[in-house]
Chain A
Amino acid sequence: MNLDTSFYSWQLVTNYLARGLAFSLKLTACATLLGTLLGVCLAIARISKIDTLRRLASAYINTMRAVPLVMLILWFYLLVPLFIGRPIGAEMAAYFTFSLFESAFFAEIIRSGIQALPRGQSMAGLALGMSYRQTLRYVILPQAFRHTTPILLTQVIVLFQDTSLVYAIGAYDWLKGFEIAGKNFGRPIETYLLAAACYFAVCYALSRLVFNLKTRLAVSSEL
């Protein structure tokens, strides 16, 4: 096979790839932030004393985890306009869907972090006269976050890879940038190979970062 890489250039990056990468990063950042916020609420609801709340939260989490993300993106893009009476852009639909979708995954990770804490921690908090809310806020959640940060970050890497699924609604993400360049230059194979290399570089660098963080956190928690 002879590859034609003559079109690999700085122009390719500035003209086609930069815009897509920016959107992929924005989407990842937004979904991480909103997903974590919503995820904490869901995790707390999932272990709440109130039966209905617990059931609702676990129903939400289980549904989100059983539906392919592509379907969810398509749903959101199609359904929300029916409810609010006007169409929403592909990018907006992506921000919403990814935040809602990731919140289910983050919720489960955070819940496992909370449940992994020794029961004595919450008892001690309550014994000190803190309220339920204060115990969560000052004792439980900080520790749970600390323990689950590496897993959360690993999920963020998966999320970054998943942003490529917005092709279904035609949003312009990083992979789309590669695809369009491939079409307009007529060299799809070369651009897909380049895409693989670029995604690998980013995700591998991130996963090394997470690995280092994990070792650091592990050491400091043993002290």
Chain B
Amino acid sequence: MRTIIMVSLFFCLAQLSYAAQTESPTLNKIRETGTITLGVRDSSGALSFTQGYGQYDGYHVEICRHIASDIQVKLGLRKLTTKYIAVSSQNRISLVQNGTIDLECGSTTNTLARQRDVAFAHTAFIEEVRIAVKRGSGISSIADLRGKTVVSTTGSQPVQILRAQARRQNINFNGIYGKDHADSFLLLESGRADAFVMDASILAGNIANARDPRAFVIVGEPLSLEPIAIMLRRDDPTFKELVDHSLDQLMTQGALPALWDKWFLKPIPPSGRVMGLALSEATKAAWESPNDRPAEEYRRFHIETPSSTHQGLDLGIFCRGIVTGQSIPNCLSKDDFGGDTTYLHWLLSAWRWTLVVAGIGFLVALSIGLPVGALRTIVRNRWLAGALSAFVEVFRNIPILVQVFIWYFVVPSLLASFKSLPAYLVVSLALGLFTAARVSEQVRAGILAIPKGQFQAAKALGLTTLQSYRYVLLPVALRTIIPPLTSEAMNIIKNSAVAFAVSVPELTMFAMQAQEETARGIEIYAAVTLIYVLSALVVNRVMTYMEAKAKIPGTNHNHTEVPLVKAGPQ
């Protein structure tokens, strides 16, 4: 046993101490190791996706493989191994910077801000941000979005672009966020959103995958153009030159149209779907005159990113408008910001959503958990007992994230009446049932802990079973379970963070979206964490107060004494 523990400990520490090193210029590294490492995405449409264990493919991946073979020729290597590492939008830039990957072949927009950290190769793909709607919805341009529900994906740029566009044209719409592109599309498909604003290739991919692709159309002018480029390390001009040269050859010798056909117009693995994304004028223009211009040069209007150059903590970020990105003076006392609102107000509204979802959830948990727990101690009928224990086991053995998703997307397609339930109620219900399963177990344990004699005495006095529970057992049991109920109440506040998965604009969603927009992660996360801790503490105080109030005078429910020392503060 001891050896096993030591071995697994060693294994854990080995995992922890792993870190990428390598600082030498890229080509030297490739020559020395005989290996080139490509950063790829698991699911970025036809640009870059996994075929399964260790296999990656897509338009950008194939271009990267072509570049790799050019590098092999250039370096005169007999053999060059290509390694793939899956990256995410959160870690791709750092992995390029620290040398873990040599080329990132995914779906990264070339922006000025990112050029401070990494370099981009010549653009081979220009993305258009567009609007997908259901066929026959009557929406054909951004102006038609007035009063509609529009979904986009958390932490992505189109949200900001749309917000800025809408403000310029004075259009009010109800913006919601999906956890990822697939969820955003489900919101459109299930009728919870009227339009999905996103990169056209992502829209096309999701439509191609839908049960009935003909039910959806992409409409309107592109809201913006985004050059999507292969990313490489900064400060390695020789390497960039080589990569650009390789790309230029592909572009000028006409190899790219065939690649475009293969990935965007013909069936692709794993399921043989067809993207159906026609070659855009903008992409064609980029092939004709290869360049690495950043997104800013493509934009027809300017989006303010409120990223400040402020060193250290910058709390002023909370007083900036979410549309203009400008500081608003006296933002604490003002209510009207001319159609704009500040990050502070957004934060406070997110807090309210968190409390609403957790509050309703806890009510559901108590009103279901108490009777279920009490019933489980009396029920003799085998079927009813089985049903009750099935309820508890199902709701506590599936991750809450999965449960929320099922309540939101799967249940409405079985029960039509569920469709009209707003997202926050769905999450409250899911959280409530998840917590009810746990509360019921505590209630049951609380009742079972009471000596049998109590119940027998109550019966002997002529009380019915219901009366015995009401006047004898429950009053005692409920008092003993206040401490575990306190943890459940604190837990439900924390667990409400999953609400963002179904686009309730609560604290965690605020944290992720505002962090993306402002690039001031520390201030945003600190504020959100503080609010969570504060909420949990208030709940804790309230429950402690209730515990003291409910205490039967003269009884002492102190925990067993601390061994070895005098009882310290609990």
Contacts and interface: CB of A to CB of B under 8 A. Distances in A.
Interface of A: 1, 4, 7, 11, 14-16, 18-19, 26, 29-30, 33-34, 46-49, 54, 58, 63, 65-71, 74-75, 77-79, 81-82, 86-92, 95-96, 114-119, 121-122, 126, 132, 135, 140, 157, 161-162, 164-165, 167-170, 172, 175-176, 179-180, 182-189, 192-193, 195-196, 199-200, 203-204, 207
Interface string B497-526: 100000000001001100000000110010
B525 A200 contact: no
Contact of B511 (A16, A74, A86, A96): A74
Contact of A207 (B18, B95, B397): B397
Contact of B94 (A48, A81, A122): A81
Contacts of A199: 397-399, 402
Contacts of A74: 511-512, 521, 525
Interface stretch (B159-167, B325-333, B421-429, B556-564): B556-564
B406 A192 contact: yes
A55 B508 CA distance: 29
B397 A169 contact: no
B511 A71 contact: yes
A200 B91 contact: no
B562 A87 contact: no
Contact of A200 (B16, B89, B398, B522): B398
A207 to B, nearest CB: 7
B565 A172 contact: no
Contacts of A1: 410, 413-414
B372 interface: no
A215 B395 CA distance: 23
Given A54-B569, A179-B182, A114 B399 contact: no
B444 to A, nearest CB: 14
A81 B8 CA distance: 26
Given A7-B271, A79-B522, A196-B398, 7 more contacts: A16-B52, A33-B5, A65-B490, A168-B512, A175-B402, A192-B402, A192-B409
A95 B397 contact: no
B43 interface: yes
B543 interface: no
Contact of A30 (B15, B394, B522): B15
A15 B51 contact: yes
Given A30-B15, A204-B397, A121 B494 contact: no
B561 A71 contact: no
A187 B211 CA distance: 8
Interface of B: 5, 8-9, 11-12, 15-16, 18-20, 42-43, 49-53, 86-91, 94-95, 97-98, 179-183, 186, 206, 208-211, 270-271, 273, 393-394, 396-403, 405-406, 409-410, 413-414, 487, 490, 494-495, 497, 508, 511-512, 521-522, 525, 528-529, 532-533, 536-537, 559-565, 568-569
Contacts of B51: 15
Contacts of A58: 569
A9 B206 CA distance: 22
B565 A47 contact: yes
B490 A11 contact: no
A33 B396 CA distance: 23
Given A135-B564, A192-B405, A170 B91 contact: yes
Given A92-B15, A180-B50, A196-B403, A66 B564 contact: no
| Chain B interface, >50% SS class | helix
Given A33-B12, A186-B271, A192-B402, A68 B495 contact: yes
A53 to B, nearest CB: 10
B53 A15 contact: yes
B94 A87 contact: yes
A75 B50 CA distance: 28
A184 to B, nearest CB: 6
Nearest to B397: A203
Contacts of A164: 399, 401-402
Contacts of A75: 525, 529
A116 B562 CA distance: 8
A1 B211 CA distance: 11
A71 B532 contact: yes
A49 B565 contact: yes
13 contacts: A26-B15, A68-B494, A86-B19, A89-B95, A91-B15, A96-B16, A116-B560, A157-B397, A164-B399, A170-B88, A184-B270, A185-B270, A200-B398
Contacts of A18: 53
Contacts of B86: 172
**Which of A78, A167, A170: most chain B Cβ within 10 A?**
A170
A19 B511 contact: no
B5 to A, nearest CB: 7
A14 to B, nearest CB: 6
